Amino acid sequence: MSNLLFSILADLADGQFHSGEAIAKKYNISRVSVWNAIGEAEKIGVDIFSVRGKGYKLTQPITLLDSKKIKQAIGEEASWFHIEVIDVVDSTNTLMMRKAATGYPHAACLAAHIQTAGKGRRGRRWISALGQNLTFSFLWRFKQGAAMLSGLSLVVGIALIRAFQKIGLQQALLKWPNDILVLDNGLYRKLAGILIELQGDMEGQSLAVIGIGINLDISKKQIEKIDQPAIDLHSCLDAAINPNELLAIIIKELAAALSQFESEGFAGMKEEWKNAHAFHDKMVALTKGDGQIIQGRVSDITDDGALLIHTEKGATPYSSGEISIIKNWNNA
């Protein structure tokens, strides 16, 4: 994907019309080159209006990510983090895993304007569109082995809840093990998702690549592509979200939560997690990897992040699976 395309997209980010002639003159290129760049945008799912006599415009104004602005928003602690912003990538997690193997620094963040093949849990695809989502991966190196990192995805969820609260979103909730939900008109809608990939020894040093996708301001067209109820920050806050400022807050909260996790384990954060869990003390159906479905009441969470589900056989811990709430069940 050409650098020219994203230079043009930066010009169009204001949501106004820009003539092909003016764009061509600015970059000292032909009108045909402008037209070809616009064609590249369509290939990666960026909708650009073209009106004869007016030029080109995006469907709505957007704020592009900028590593310098992210560091400015972080403030005094900016030097602790390595931040990289790229235009287009198949998956930030996939790229970060490759970079991690070549000595990419601790506490590094890799964000992308567009992911063409973003990964979700259980083989799902994370839908991503320019200006509508915040998608990034965060690298954290642990002295502990991977065997000691149980509950990590829950800790990342806590960091996101803390970050959302700082921007005024109080209604965000956690869904075990790694989704952020908002209860909207009686329906739980997904706001953000987490995908963690580990690398290293089970007992020696290890690292985690933490992939996060957040819905900022998603279009009706994008919602139709998502296979579950979804919501965005714009709908929750009724305000424009600056992704550079939001990412800065999240990076700081991730670092704080991960440091706490290293010193206390998940046990030290368990009560905070339970207080934010959408399905605590509710009847759920848990679908295991083999397709077996367990129905019962969520009674607790263990110190290593396993979900305790109470059935007639008693309380059983589950370390993996997909849960959904059972409707029309009386919690009283």
The interaxial angle of helices 20-27 and 31-43, nearest 10 deg, is 100
> Is 40 or 194 the better-scoring residue by pLDDT?
194
Q: Give the pLDDT confidence of 297-313 residue by residue, as tens digits.
A: 999 999 999 999 999 88
Whether 122 shows a pLDDT value over 70: the answer reads no
Same structural domain for residues 174 and 114? yes
pLDDT above 70: percentage of residues in the chain: 94
Q: Are 209 and 100 in contact (CB under 8 A)?
A: yes
pTM of the model: 0.91
Same structural domain for residues 233 and 304? no
Q: Give the pLDDT confidence of 208-237 residue by residue, as tens digits.
A: 999 999 999 987 777 777 778 899 999 999
Q: Give the pLDDT confidence of 11-22 residue by residue, as tens digits.
A: 999 999 999 999
Q: Give the pLDDT confidence of 276-298 residue by residue, as tens digits.
A: 999 999 999 999 988 999 999 99
Which pLDDT does position 162 carry in this prediction? 98
Q: Are 297 and 326 in contact (CB under 8 A)?
A: no
Last residue of a domain, one of 256, 275, 294: 275
Whether 332 shows a pLDDT value over 50: the answer reads no
Same structural domain for residues 253 and 321? no
Same structural domain for residues 34 and 20? yes
- Which of 48-62, 115-129, 132-146 is least confident? 115-129
Alpha carbons within 13 angstroms on the beta-carbon side of residue 288 total 10
171: how many CB neighbours lie within 10 A of its CB?
12
Same structural domain for residues 178 and 317? no
**Whole-angstrom distance, CA of residue 82 vs CA of residue 91:** 18
Same structural domain for residues 137 and 283? no
Which pLDDT does position 127 carry in this prediction? 62
Range of the domain at 286: 279-325
Confidence of residue 125 (pLDDT cuts 50, 70, 90): low
Q: Residue 88 pairs with which residues in a beta bridge?
A: 114
Q: Residue 125 pairs with which residues in a beta bridge?
A: 119
The secondary element (H helix, E strand) that includes residue 258 is helix 243-264
Q: Give the pLDDT confidence of 157-199 residue by residue, as tens digits.
A: 999 999 999 999 999 999 999 999 999 988 999 999 999 999 8
Same structural domain for residues 49 and 72? no
Q: Are 57 and 16 in contact (CB under 8 A)?
A: yes
Instruction: Give the CATH number for residue 193.
Output: 3.30.930.10
Between the CA atoms of 239, 244, 247 and 253, what dihedral angle is there, to the nearest 10 degrees?
-90
Confidence of residue 97 (pLDDT cuts 50, 70, 90): very high
pLDDT above 90: percentage of residues in the chain: 70
Same structural domain for residues 255 and 285? no
Edge-to-edge strands of the sheet including 133-142? Answer: 82-89, 108-115, 133-142, 206-215, 187-200, 179-184, 172-175
**Whole-angstrom distance, CA of residue 307 vs CA of residue 310:** 10
Whether 107 shows a pLDDT value over 90: the answer reads yes
Is the residue at 332 inside a domain? no
Same structural domain for residues 117 and 214? yes
Which pLDDT does position 113 carry in this prediction? 93
Domains identified in the chain, total number: 3
Instruction: Give the CATH number for residue 20.
Output: 1.10.10.10
18: how many CB neighbours lie within 10 A of its CB?
18
Whether 120 shows a pLDDT value over 70: the answer reads no
Which pLDDT does position 287 carry in this prediction? 94
